[in-house]
Amino acid sequence: MTVQIDKVKLLREKTSAGFIDCKNALIKTNGDIEKAVEELRKKGLAVAAKRSGKVAKEGCVASYIHLGGKIGVLLEVNCETDFVAKNEQFQQFVKDVAMQVAASNPQYLKIEDVPEEVKNKEKEILAAQSPDKPPQILEKMLSGKLNKFYQEVCLLEQPFIKDDKIKIKDYLNSIIGKIGENIMIRRFTRYQLGEEI
């Protein structure tokens, strides 16, 4: 199958993937842009899974100060090599994540970091809002509402501020797929002027 160059350009704009990767994804999906985006995301996930066991001790600690100096973020992102730590795509990813933390104020990195007592308290509050629902319906409602809660408080679950169709974890996996190294967001701290201690 021959792929039109403008479709490859469009796919590159949407995903920032390499020319050959975009071309191959379009060939595999018979020129369907949306399916090609999905194919590239799957490829990123596959690479991410393969690299997840690799030690990531390099990287950087970055800071971001929001306009007016009212919000500041310190963020550590790790990768496998010093070479990648200086890579433009890696640096852009770090900057984007720092901006995400400033804008969305996550409390935790991932779902597993949310303490059990916080999860249980949230379930209790959500259950109290629908006391007359049958248990099986309540369970489904709780699951959906808990996922919404996780999207608010867990950085990796949050919709990316620059593209709300993907989560931060999807953005991370796409960067791992492009760069070909294990990359992990290790920790972050957000400061807000006048915030109560």
pLDDT of residue 57: 77
Give the pTM. Answer: 0.69
CATH topology of domain 58-110+154-192: Tetrahydropterin Synthase; Chain A (3.30.479)
Q: Please choose, from the candidates 6, 32, 35, 38, the residue with its C-alpha nearest in 3D space to the C-alpha of residue 19.
A: 6
* Confidence bin at 17 (pLDDT 50/70/90): low
Mean of pLDDT values over 163-170:
91
Tokens representing 125?
């509050």
CATH of domain 5-51: 1.10.8.10
Geometric angle at alpha carbon 55, from 116 and 81, rounded to 5°: 130
pLDDT of residue 179: 84
Q: 94 near 75, Cβ under 8 Å? A: yes
